[in-house]
Amino acid sequence: MKLNNLTKEEERVIVNKGTEAPFSGEFDDYFETGTYICRRCDSPLYRSDDKFDAHCGWPAFDQEIKGAVKRLPDADGSRVEIQCAKCGAHLGHVFDGERMTDKNVRHCVNSISMKFVADKKGK
């Protein structure tokens, strides 16, 4: 599997399971139509239709692309980490039961863990 080169900050978050500062990521307030892909391996993760404004400082989604994200207990056991199912890149955390959307789930994702691919016009 081909992995993209990462900057030191991308590596801190994606490989070493860090977190970017709230309200600092490029996709927190971003609502264009398209697909969010893994910055490390370019695998599709989320569709823009599943993104919502959770007012938490990070991009929030209430559904991943089927099979794209895996859930793992965080090292401290208090949260559930989400990773790219293809390459294991750290994406952020998932929270169930907050009732922010009808799907009742929030994927809280670091912007730095993703890239955005806009839908082609006329699609």
Question: Rounded distance, CA 68 to CA 55, Å?
Answer: 24
Q: Report, in this order, helix, strand and coil percent for the chain, each rounded to 5.
A: 10, 35, 55
**Catalytic residue chosen out of the listed positions 41, 84, 87, 108:** 108
What are the CA-CA distances from residue 93 to residues 1, 15, 28, 106, 122 (Å)?
Answer: 24, 15, 15, 8, 34
Active site residue 84: no
Residues forming the active site: 108
